[in-house]
Amino acid sequence: MSFAGPEFILAIIALSTGGWLINNWIRARHGYALEDEWGGKTRPADSQAMSQLQAENAELREQLAHFADRVKVLERIATDTPTRLAAEIEDLRK
């Protein structure tokens, strides 16, 4: 085998990539943080934390819809003519 040829460089690249893949596979299997291509660590998604975030997201979306409805009412009150608003209030009193 010639160490000066492109086959040697390709073999080194293949071995390095294979080692990195095996390392991450072992880490993922045992629950350790995974290593990205730049040497940083990333944690796998925690299912309990993910479900809590989804529940919080749903609650916040519900609150946002509620506030959007309130803003629509306030905009209608602010832009309506005073006589129309007074008429609607009098109709509600009857």
Distance between CA atoms of residues 30 and 37, nearest Å: 20
Q: Tell me which residue of 39, 7, 47 sits closest to 23, measured CA to CA.
A: 39
Domain limits at 1?
Answer: 1-44
Residues 36 and 3 in one domain: yes
pTM as predicted: 0.41
Domain count, the chain: 2
Residues 61 and 33 in one domain: no
Residues 39 and 75 in one domain: no
- pLDDT tens series, the chain, 94 aa: 567 778 888 999 999 999 988 988 888 887 777 766 666 666 666 777 778 888 999 999 999 999 999 999 888 888 877 788 788 888 888 7
Structure tokens at 43: 């944690």
